[in-house]
A and B are shown apart, each in its own frame.
Chain A
Amino acid sequence: MTNDKIQMTNKLIKSQSLNYLLIKRFIWVLSFGFWISILILPANAAQVSSTDLLNKPDLYNGKIVIFEGEAVGDILENWINVNDGNNAIGIFVREKIALDEISYLGDYKKVGDKLKITGQFNKACAEHGGDLDIHAEHLEVTALGHPINHPFDLSKLYSLLILLGVTVFVYIIKTILHKKK
Chain B
Amino acid sequence: MLIKPSLEDLKVIGFNIGRIVIAFGLTMLIPMITGLALAEWGPALDFAITLLICLIVGELLLISCKTNKDLSWGHGLVVTATSWLIAMILGAIPLFYSGHYGSFLDSCFDSMSGIATTGLALIQNLDHLSHAHNMWRHLLMFLGGQGIIVIGLTFLIRGSAGAYRLYVGEAREEKIMPNVIQTARFIWSISFIYLMIGILVLSILFSHMGISLIRSFLHSIWIFMAAYDTGGFTPHSQSILYYHSFMVELVTIAFMILGTLNFSMHFALWSGNSKEFRKNIEVFTLISSISIICVVALVSLIQFSTYSNWIGIFRKGFYQIISAHSGTGFMTLYPSQFNAWGPLGVFAVMLAMALGGSACSTAGGIKALRVGLSIKTLIKNIRSVLSPGGAIIIEKFHHIKDVVLSDKIIRSTLVITLIYIMAYFVGTGIGLFYGYPLQDAAFEAVSACANVGLSVGVTAPTMPNGLKVTYIILMWLGRLEFMSIFALIGFFIAMVRGK
Contact = CB atoms under 8 A, between A and B. Distances in A.
A129 B314 CA distance: 8
A106 B236 CA distance: 11
B53 A88 contact: no
Given A81-B242, A87-B334, 13 more contacts: A72-B128, A73-B127, A73-B242, A88-B237, A124-B306, A124-B340, A130-B306, A130-B307, A130-B316, A131-B244, A156-B49, A163-B49, A170-B60
Contacts of A171: 59
B237 A87 contact: yes
B251 interface: no
A83 B244 contact: no
Contacts of B337: 54, 57, 123, 132
B45 A160 contact: yes
A69 B314 CA distance: 30
Nearest to B238: A88
A126 B55 CA distance: 54
B6 interface: no
B131 A124 contact: no
Interface in A75-114: 75-77, 79, 81, 83, 87-88, 90, 92, 106-108
B40 interface: yes
A75 B337 CA distance: 25
16 contacts: A72-B127, A73-B236, A76-B245, A88-B238, A88-B242, A123-B340, A124-B307, A129-B316, A130-B308, A130-B333, A132-B337, A156-B49, A160-B48, A163-B53, A166-B52, A170-B59
B63 A177 contact: yes
Nearest to A75: B210
A167 B42 contact: no
Interface string A140-181: 000000001010110011011001101100110110010000
Centre residue among A74, A133, A164 by max chain B CB count within 10 A: A74
B271 interface: no
A5 interface: no
A44 interface: no
A133 B49 CA distance: 42
Contacts of B215: 74
B53 A106 contact: no
Instruction: Specify the main secondary structure of chain A where it touches its partner.
Output: mixed
A167 B127 contact: no
Contacts of A159: 49
A27 B261 CA distance: 73
Interface string B308-319: 110111111000
Nearest to A173: B63
Contact of B308 (A72, A124, A132, A160): A124
A145 to B, nearest CB: 12
Contacts of B307: 124, 130
B155 interface: no
A3 interface: no
B42 A153 contact: yes
A130 B319 CA distance: 12
Contacts of B309: 126
Given A130-B311, A170-B63, A76 B316 contact: no
Nearest to A148: B128
A163 B56 contact: yes
B237 A83 contact: yes
Nearest to B52: A163
Interface of B: 40-42, 45-46, 48-49, 52-53, 55-56, 59-60, 62-63, 97, 127-131, 209-212, 215, 236-238, 241-246, 306-309, 311-316, 332-334, 336-337, 340
B236 A129 contact: no
Given A76-B211, A124-B312, A163-B52, A107 B42 contact: no
Given A76-B244, A108-B40, A159-B49, A129 B312 contact: yes
The 10 closest A-B pairs by CB, nearest first: A130-B312, A129-B315, A163-B52, A72-B127, A108-B130, A130-B307, A130-B316, A126-B308, A79-B244, A74-B211
Contact of B52 (A90, A132, A160): A160
A4 B244 CA distance: 79
A91 B177 CA distance: 50
Contacts of A55: 336
Given A107-B128, A160-B45, A167 B55 contact: yes
A15 to B, nearest CB: 61
A55 to B, nearest CB: 6
Contact of B312 (A74, A108, A126, A174): A126
Contacts of B333: 130, 132
A73 B60 CA distance: 43
Contacts of A133: 244
Contacts of B242: 73, 81, 88, 90
Contacts of B40: 108
A172 to B, nearest CB: 11
Centre residue among A79, A107, A129, A167 by max chain B CB count within 10 A: A129
A69 B40 CA distance: 26
Contacts of A124: 306-308, 312, 316, 340
B241 A90 contact: yes
A131 B241 contact: yes
Nearest to B333: A132
Contacts of B129: 108
A177 to B, nearest CB: 6
Nearest to A58: B340
A163 B130 CA distance: 24
Contacts of B306: 124, 130
Contacts of B56: 163, 166-167, 170
A168 to B, nearest CB: 10
A57 B334 CA distance: 11
A130 B315 contact: yes
Contacts of A75: 210
B25 to A, nearest CB: 11
